[in-house]
Chain A
Amino acid sequence: MSEAATSGSLTSPLATGSAPSPTRRNWVPYALLLPGLLWLSVFFVLPMVTLASQSLQEGNIDEGYVFTGNVGIYAEAFSRYWPHMARSLTYAALATVLALLLGYPLAYFIAQKAGRWKNIVLVLVIAPFFTSFLIRTLAWKTILSDNWVVTQWAQQLGITDALQAVGLTSTDSLLFSPFAVVMGLTYNFLPFMILPLYASLERLDPRLLEAAGDLYATPMQAFRRVTWPLSLPGVVAGTLLTFIPASGDFINARLLGNTQTTMIGSVIDSQFLRVLDYPLAAALSFVLLLIIVTLVALYVRKAGTEELL
């Protein structure tokens, strides 16, 4: 009678518990999306367009600007400020790597080892994030100042000499140096690294590590072959969320650095608000944006967009 093949263990496609029957409510998701996406389109996407357009204009603040399609502005921007770009990207990269090195153990601890303390530690990670980062960065001025313990220990332990050798500082003090800027950047963006890492590590089933141990893996091997690969989505998300904003930051550089440590964000800021050279500033801004869009595009090509949020 029944000629239909016994088709294995096919469960109903909707048994995975996804959205309710879509046939009757086609318009609802679009209605929900519309206001928010409209706002973002007008106040995020459109400004990018005007930014690009502004960069191709010429003139000045008194006489007004005219769109001339002056692509040469990009060459000028690049030749004048490529050291700042490179510096920003370098500092951001250093800060990102540091944040990863520092943030991973903490995220791992919270996700896997904290037990009862998990919530408290999470609170302690999140709460500073909610308080004025300007003020906290100012606090670093105190921490790294010359008459404080940190600098004095560093001098005694020879760390300052090592840092000078590497070029991260130029004098015996820790403050007003690339070192301080990178420390500040790491500090400010550490939560952006920790939280995605934590989210990823929390989903790691500890029984996988038990299985690895059962199959003769040392802790180091288990980490390399099980934990690390499975936490990769979190690592990438954290890296993106740290590196990108860090490369555009200038607060840390202004407060903790010196004139040699100016970052590109600072240049854009002053060009826009002090020098009032809008086309140049817009061009710089756009170049920075392009670099970032490229990075994100590379990521999305590899991993798709679902993991982003």
Chain B
Amino acid sequence: MTPGGLLLLAAACLLAAIGLGPRFERPALAFTLCGTFAGLLAALPVLFGPVDWEWKTSFLLGGEKVHLLLDGVSAVFLVLVSVIGGAGAVYAREYWPASHYPASAGRGRAWWSALVLCMGLVLVVCNGLHFLIVWEAFALCGYFLITLENRSPEVRKAGWLYLAASHAGTLGLFAFFGALAARAGTWDLGPMRNAEGMAPLFWLVLFGFGMKAGFFPCHIWLPSAHANAPSHVSAIMSGVAIKMGVYGIVRFSGWLPVPATAGYVVIGLGATSAILGIAFALTQNDLKRLLAYCSVENIGILLIGLGGALLARAHGNALWGRLALAGMFLHVWNHGLFKSLLFFGAGSVLHATGKREMSRLGGLWRSMPWTAGLFAVGAVAVSGLPPLNGFVSEWFIYLGLFDAVATRSAFAWAAMPAAIMLAMAGALALASFTKAGAIVFLGAPRTMAAVDAHECGLWMRGPMMALAAACLAIGIAPASLWTPISRAVGSWHSPWVLQAPPTPLQTLGSVQLVLAMVAAAAGVWLWRKVRVNGACRNLTWDCGYAEPVPSMQYTSGSFAGIAGGWFFWIFLPERKLRRPRGPFPDKALRLERTPDTVLERVIAPSAGFITRLSTLVRGFQHGRLQSYILYLLAGLAAVGILVYFGTTK
């Protein structure tokens, strides 16, 4: 079948799943899986073959001809949509079943399929007007999925914030597509690299899609939406939906001319998001908020790659730009995979204990060994450590940045700080995820809920295992992905098509394979050595505590204390302290919360000011007729005075 036929099949299956979703669970799941699988199959021939799939019709929709295009760039994203769309649908079967959520389970299935369908449409639609329509539909599907559990006020608030932020971005997109259509004379989209006067539109692209992508400081909706949504929804929102924003930026920076400073701005935004995103993640106590902030970091990494590519394209197509861009495309996949894996892991913890606060968990590896192990795999991958996939994409981006610095030219001023900040972000990510993994899964359970936890079933475990396997597979065989990645790079900027994979990539793959095998063997071997030597179990020694209790363990707050202190200037944490007083102190308390600085210190106060101003103005409209007549007379008098004293020339 051609990609077109497969896409049609995918759309039909997803439409069927939308229709069946509210009532019939198994057929809906089967149709969703068929649809996502067909979407994946449609993307593969485009990625592994030389030709794009394009479909121009004379069929009018809203007065515009339907025009669809699946090229290298959109196919990369379509693969991600399909994989996570399928995995999440399977996961939701056990995570959000009708037996527990009778009101929302069916609705959830339908909106899920609708979200996957709309994201797929965003990727293939090639007309400005239609793009706006499917973009809005995609945003709305996200809203209804986030607010599945709409009885909770927190969830409603998070959904509202998401909707507001999303529409602020859409406003920018309306302006962008409107201006684009006005200047190009058509709503039809396509490469216009040489068009004049288009370059400033890039700033609208950056804002409009940036609100969805969620780089710092446009990330305001991310933490609360991802934390309060059901976990499979968080997984697709964090792993895939925010990538739609990245897709927009990548797409239109490839098709349109960009301002000369765009590369510097993008790389700067990326480096800032990487550091601040992960610094905020480190201080969170809510597991899912931590993961959400980590997404801000990863969007930053993507932007560093894209910024490098923009700089290189503007300065004579240097090779390092390709490397950075290839790293970015690979990281799109990698982040989608491991972030969904981690959110699924967080979901099973939530499913088993009902808690997201890390300081209420602990010791879960005993009751949930599979979840613990798979979460650990995700943690290694997200920290960018070998031998998993996160390292490969960061390696590409680093190589690009190192090469850029080695040129000793002006743009090294951007690449040098970016490389160092990326390294620091990597180290902070390691800190965040040792914390997240260890506080949740290791040590002793801190509450009864953590004691009574249970392992999740196969429907939840299966998708997690598949994603973890994908993380490992990309880590040990990155060269096999070179063809699709270079295809996407070539679609973004045609002179950059690369044929053969760079040899270090194959070497790196084999090294990672050997490393993974040797490390596994060494672990098993040492374990057996310990068994042979004889091992006895006893209390944690900890320098001689006779009876350690769970509350004596290190907490997530104390773990983050040192590095968190360095970012005090931006965190502005809220602290509540009651010291123990008197010879027989009864209660002491120390609470610390890190609010989102941009949302709660900047946007909320300024929005409050606008609200107060509006309330003041509203005082003029009170429904008393006498006063209205007075306004009328005053207005007439003012006009009269103007006419009487005014002079005409």
Q: Please indicate whether A and B come from the same complex rather than being unrelated chains.
A: no
